[in-house]
Amino acid sequence: MKVHDGMYTGGRWTPAAGDDTIAVVNPADERVIAHVPAGTAEDVDAAVRAARAALPGWAATPPAGRAALIAALRDRLAARTDEIAATVTAELGAPEQFARQVHVGLPVAVAGSYAELAAGHPFEERIGNSTVLHEPVGVVGAITPWNYPLHQIVAKVAPALAAGCTVVLKPAEDTPLTARLFAEAVHEAGLPAGVFNLVTGLGPVAGQALAAHEGVDLVSFTGSTAVGRRIGATAGGAVKRVALELGGKSANVILPSADLAKAVAVGVANVMSNAGQTCSAWTRMLVHTDRYEEAVELAKAAVAKYPVGERVGPLVSARQRDRVRGYIEQGVAEGARLVAGGAGAPLERGYYVAPTVFADVTPEMTIAQEEIFGPVLSLLRYEDEEDALRIANGTVYGLAGAVWAGDEAEAVAFARRLETGQVDINGGRFNPLAPFGGYKQSGVGRELGPHGLAEYLQTKSLQF
């Protein structure tokens, strides 16, 4: 077990202000693997001061110079793929291959995309007799979740750096080791001191201090809608910019003309990925009543291909495991039909939940309305297209979704009517340059690509 004793502030590792630590637990075997400092408001203040001091120089760095350093950071992350993947497996529980391909491969690609965007983005434009300048918003407070620990860091830090902002990162307390590796990569890449700073700590302490700090110009948070509300209120009270990527209850709508077997198989894979700990997971599968029972049998067969401890890892913590099991028990209590899985412990050790499929789920059930954040799929039946649309749009969330149809134009027409920020058509591939973010209570703002870069810019117009 390793004990870490520093924060990355002002270009170097510095001792934490207090002595309290956070235990990092391997969710597969429930053993403590490390301790990191539990940062205080004093640690946050030191990091914000370092970021403010570095801001003028970084903002004045030509975009090509910022791009070169972001590219160097990408290269350092790629060079440490094995170490980062092993760390994600240790502190999150992600299977090794998934950790390499998704937890490391995706953020490396995103970092590369921002190196290119920084070099080519039009930070000035001419509109009539005005020149419009796109300038960095300032110091960014980034608060990231545990479910995709490196990707969520890169999705905030890379565009902020590309825009010319400086950053203070407060990562999730469950997965701080990946964040420390990111800070090491920043240092190795040669970014100027204070441009990036790391403070580990608890959300109600370090996270709240960062959101409330008067030296922070924008707060970017990814996590639950409940916490997002509090952070939004704190930032709004100080009239500072906020970007929120929150919860989801995404619908996978399978229209009658679709290839049902393919749609169900891909839908099950989507929900089981990362043990269901994905905010955009298609956790509600909507199937026409005429083919509903066929879909149930297909889902039952598909989920059997995801053995616990192999393709499906543990949940991140005992708290999260118990929360998900509680939802499964509630689904049974409210009358849903348990087709696969259940609330029992599938293995003797580790925070595992069995991949679970519910049938006969109705739109008003708790498991059809609230984000479970585990390997739990609900199948709902619909009578016609209008009924499917009503069910799909009938939650407070609107983050993602999917539509399947035999004709692409039919799927697109339905997707246009969905109240959600991103829709995959017939299994469309993830695009790291496309804007990611939600409607309704799924958030404010967008991440990834040029839309993600725009979140960290403010405009100034010069009239001639």
Hey, what domains does the chain have and what are their CATH numbers? 2-246+442-463 (3.40.605.10), 251-432 (3.40.309.10)
pLDDT at 86: 98
The per-residue pLDDT string of the chain (464 residues; one tens digit each, 9 = 90 and over) reads: 888 989 999 999 999 999 999 999 999 999 999 999 999 999 999 999 999 999 999 999 999 999 999 999 999 999 999 999 999 999 999 999 999 999 999 999 999 999 999 999 999 999 999 999 999 999 999 999 999 999 999 999 999 999 999 999 999 999 999 999 999 999 999 999 999 999 999 999 999 999 999 999 999 999 999 999 999 999 888 999 999 999 999 999 999 999 999 999 999 999 999 999 999 999 999 999 999 999 999 999 999 999 999 999 999 999 999 999 999 999 999 999 999 999 999 999 999 999 999 999 999 999 999 999 999 999 999 999 999 999 999 999 999 999 999 999 999 999 999 999 999 999 999 999 999 999 999 999 999 999 999 999 999 999 99
String of b and e for 182-194 (b: at least 16 CB within 10 Å)? bbbbbbebebeeb
d(CA 71, CA 142): 20
Full DSSP string of 317-347: -HHHHHHHHHHHHHHHHTT-EEEEEESS-SS
Strand 284-288 and strand 251-254: the pairing is parallel
pLDDT at 65: 98
299 Cβ contact partners less than 8 Å away, ≥ 6 residues apart: 264, 267, 268, 285, 339, 340, 357, 377, 379
Q: Which residues are catalytic?
A: 245, 279
37 Cβ contact partners less than 8 Å away, ≥ 6 residues apart: 4, 5, 6, 7, 16, 18, 20, 21, 22, 43, 200, 201
62 Cβ contact partners less than 8 Å away, ≥ 6 residues apart: none
Torsion of CA 66, 70, 71, 77, to 10 degrees: 160
Torsion of CA 349, 351, 354, 356, to 10 degrees: 170
String of b and e for 289-322 (b: at least 16 CB within 10 Å)? eebbeebbebbbebbeebebeebbbbbbbeebbe
d(CA 340, CA 7): 45
pLDDT at 236: 87
pTM for the model:
0.97
β-partners of residue 132 are 125, 461
Which pair of structure tokens corresponds to residue 69? Answer: 């350093």
Q: Are 246 and 279 in contact (CB under 8 A)?
A: yes
d(CA 150, CA 154): 6
Rounded to 5 degrees, what are φ and ψ at 425? -100, 120
d(CA 254, CA 236): 40
* CA-only gyration radius of the chain, Å: 22
pLDDT at 5: 87
DSSP secondary structure letter of residue 100: I
Give the number of C-alpha atoms closer than 13 A to the C-alpha of residue 390, restricted to the C-beta side: 10
User: Could you tell me the end-to-end alpha-carbon distance of the chain, in angstroms, rounded to an integer?
Assistant: 63
Vertex 146, ends 178 and 454: CA angle to 5°? 90
Handedness of CA 205, 88, 224, 242 (dihedral sign): positive
Vertex 215, ends 148 and 57: CA angle to 5°? 85
Residue 206's identity, in one-letter code, is A
Torsion of CA 58, 107, 396, 424, to 10 degrees: 130
Handedness of CA 84, 89, 92, 94 (dihedral sign): positive
